[in-house]
Structure 1
Amino acid sequence: MSMSPFTALNQLNDYLSKVIIGQEHLLERLLIALLADGHLLVEGAPGLAKTKAIKDLARGLEAEFQRIQFTPDLLPADITGTEIYRPEDGSFRFQQGPVFNNLVLADEINRAPAKVQSALLEAMAEQQVSVGGTTHKLPSLFMVMATQNPIEQEGTYPLPEAQLDRFLMHVRISYPSMASEKAILQLARGEALHHDIQPPAHIAQETIFAARRAVLELHMDPAVEDYIVQLIDATRRPGAYREELGNWLDYGASPRGTIALDRCARAHAWLNGKDFVSPDNVQAIAHDVLRHRIIPSYEAEAEGVTTDHIIDQLLARVAVS
């Protein structure tokens, strides 16, 4: 008898918690992105298990994983694939690029030029690739986790704000605690001795699709919908909520932000075993959903006001119905 999607995802979460230590926030966001059918932008220093997290996620699923290291000399065809000439019959055959996998890690996405970034972001948005006048569909289960290194910014190509909006969430991660670091040390020693922790089962893609349907069908009261819409409106008309906020924000979130808040709040509630979405779920994911969708003013930057602080102020001032 096959297990329910909720049981399967909880087993996957338990497995990931054992192999990725001290990054609970990242693991939860990975699962939320998987359930909400979106893509993740993760920012953190090197060595914080970003690559390991998505690799181990792929191990727990019936899914193909591919890592792409972004570099300044990368070409769009290196990601999407290209037409290969076949001399035996004088024809061209499309050779798929690494983007044709279920889970794709775009490592240090800001190291590659704009054309390469656009090729990946187009694939993310359209779930297809067009080469030589032919459109090639990407897999039904398709998720990109892109990473950015907050240090060594010299020679990088920052993602434009309009392209950042394509990501469901922008997650920032930091160093683990001392207790977690000790556990990491013991885990790494065990893995070196080939004492790997194996996933309990490989979750079928159909189970993920069933979980996504359950997330979309989760009950959300109209008052919570109104709260989501008001939060987005507050990013566009911040002066109406607090005069200082009006000076801090140049641009607010697009309708993609509204949809992302809804889907991520639903996934957060579902993962936590709830059968309805509450304002608490919206507040729990608000920073990761809105962080890359609002543009602070020059005045805010001069005063050292961060996007996270602005979101804190918005959450404090938008009333729950």
Structure 2
Amino acid sequence: MTTARTQPDQREIDGIRKIVDAISEAFTAKIVGQRDLRESLLIGLLTGGHILLESVPGLAKTTAAKVLAESIHGRFHRIQCTPDLLPSDIVGTQIYDSATNSFVTQLGPVHANILLLDEINRSSAKTQSAMLEAMEERQTTIAGQVHRIADPFLVVATQNPVDQEGTYPLSEAQTDRFLLKEIVRYPSPEQEVEVMSRIDAGIYDTDHPSTPVVSLDDVLRAQQVVRHVHMDRALMLYASQLVDLTRHPANALPKQIAHLVEYGASPRATIAFCKAARAKAVLSGRAHVLPEDIADLAHRVLRHRLILGFEASSAHVTPEVVIDAVLRAVRVR
């Protein structure tokens, strides 16, 4: 027998806000700017979804993921993806122990709370598949034995949009498994100077880790509350209509934009909208979702799920242009 969901009251939301604010303070103590990155990572943490980051090197992606792990007292692992990386390097393998004359299971770095997959598109398709299976199933199988990955579990994968030589681009089915895709921008000159000041102060030294501010149990409790945040059926329909229009762009988009879309987003996009919008509502201190929550997430939910044709590339039309047109065409009913 299943029990009905109970919408959290404002006291519960305020309690989760304290957890989120503590993590945010730990984040901003080391990371300068990057408000959107912080929000996307928090949404991923609160929903149990995974985040795809795109940026050139040197924009503190590794530091951001490490600080997040330290702030929640979680285990952090970083994997530098290369073409010769094997699936066993990710999930683990069995090694022979001569002392006991038996094989011993050695779990791979995917068994972490926060996992950074640096330049995921440099690993082979076979290794990418192993990583994404672990992300989806929350478990690994070694020599026929299943090993669960601890909760909470957040994968932060990065891609470098500049250097594409020797890479294996993620397939559409693989990118679809990421809850959000965030584009990490360059800092402003003022922010860059602040980074220099923090380097001089030793804030980024290896012997200066972030202090844990919440526990893993706090994060798990926050995830339970986020799942119960109220989302009106009309807003679910709004999210679904946004996604549906990417599949049938000729129905409402201008002709010059509609013909550039080859394939729209899958139902995973609607699921991502509903999950992420609930987390965004909590970040704003609300126990209910507003239309603005969905609209604000549109770029991050849809940009990696739209497949544009060659004409879009030649005309320098980005997915964001199409998404903006979709937002203008769909209204909440």
Q: Normalised by the shorter chain, which TM-score bucket?
A: over 0.9
Q: Structure 2 matches for 1:284-299, cutoff 5 A?
A: 284-299=296-311
**Contact 1:30–1:40 (8 Å) recurs in 2:** yes
Which letter maps to 1:163? Q
Partner of 1:302: 314
Please report how far the alpha carbon of residue 194 of structure 1 lies from its aligned counterpart in structure 2 after TM superposition: 6.3
Cα deviations across residues 188-229 of structure 1 (Å, max 9, x unaligned)? 111269698775643111211111121121121222111011
Partner of 2:6: none
**Contact 1:190–1:196 (8 Å) recurs in 2:** no
**The one of 72, 87, 106 aligned to 1:76:** 87
Partner of 1:240: 251
**The one of 295, 305, 318 aligned to 1:283:** 295
**Contact 2:75–2:114 (8 Å) recurs in 1:** yes
Q: 1:96 to 1:262 in 2, by over 3 A?
A: same
Partner of 1:269: 281
Q: Distance in 1 between matches of 2:256 and 2:278?
A: 31
Cα deviations across residues 229-262 of structure 1 (Å, max 9, x unaligned)? 1111111111111233431111111111111011
Q: Distance in 1 between matches of 2:207 and 2:98?
A: 46
Partner of 2:18: 7
Name stretches of at least 5 consecutive residues in structure 2 with no aligned partner. 1-13
Cα deviations across residues 147-201 of structure 1 (Å, max 9, x unaligned)? 1111221111111111111111111111111111111111111126969877564
Q: Distance in 2 between matches of 1:304 and 1:193?
A: 38
Please report how far the alpha carbon of residue 300 of structure 1 lies from its aligned counterpart in structure 2 after TM superposition: 2.2
Q: Distance in 2 between matches of 1:112 and 1:196?
A: 31
**The one of 83, 90, 97 aligned to 1:86:** 97
Comparing 300-309 and 73-82, the one that deviates more: 300-309
Q: Distance in 2 between matches of 1:56 and 1:8?
A: 15
Partner of 2:3: none
Q: 1:89 to 1:14 in 2, by over 3 A?
A: closer
**Contact 1:11–1:200 (8 Å) recurs in 2:** no
**Contact 1:287–1:311 (8 Å) recurs in 2:** yes
Q: Distance in 1 between matches of 2:205 and 2:99?
A: 46
Pairing 1:120–2:128 present? no
Aligned residues: 319
**The one of 90, 106, 111 aligned to 1:100:** 111
- RMSD over aligned Cα, in angstroms? 1.8
Q: 1:85 to 1:197 in 2, by over 3 A?
A: closer
**TM-score computed with the length of structure 1 as normaliser:** 0.95
Q: Distance in 1 between matches of 2:261 and 2:306?
A: 7
Which letter maps to 1:251? Y
**Contact 1:12–1:199 (8 Å) recurs in 2:** no
**Contact 1:19–1:197 (8 Å) recurs in 2:** no
Pairing 1:224–2:224 present? no
Q: Distance in 2 between matches of 1:206 and 1:39?
A: 19
Q: Distance in 1 between matches of 2:78 and 2:29?
A: 22
Which letter maps to 1:273? G
What secondary structure, in the 3-state scheme, does the structure 1 residue paired with 2:146 have?
strand
Which letter maps to 1:7? K
Cα deviations across residues 288-313 of structure 1 (Å, max 9, x unaligned)? 11111111122322322111111111
Q: Distance in 2 between matches of 1:94 and 1:47?
A: 35
Q: Distance in 1 between matches of 2:212 and 2:104?
A: 36
Please report how far the alpha carbon of residue 37 of structure 1 lies from its aligned counterpart in structure 2 after TM superposition: 0.6
Pairing 1:49–2:60 present? yes
What secondary structure, in the 3-state scheme, does the structure 1 residue paired with 2:155 have?
strand
Partner of 1:16: 27
Q: Distance in 1 between matches of 2:204 and 2:85?
A: 36
Please report how far the alpha carbon of residue 77 of structure 1 lies from its aligned counterpart in structure 2 after TM superposition: 0.7
**Contact 1:228–1:282 (8 Å) recurs in 2:** yes
Which letter maps to 1:219? H
Which letter maps to 1:60? S
Q: Distance in 2 between matches of 1:194 and 1:248?
A: 48
**TM-score computed with the length of structure 2 as normaliser:** 0.91
Q: Distance in 1 between matches of 2:324 and 2:208?
A: 39
What secondary structure, in the 3-state scheme, does the structure 2 residue paired with 1:232 have?
helix
**Contact 1:247–1:300 (8 Å) recurs in 2:** no
What secondary structure, in the 3-state scheme, does the structure 2 residue paired with 1:147 have?
strand
What secondary structure, in the 3-state scheme, does the structure 2 residue paired with 1:277 have?
coil
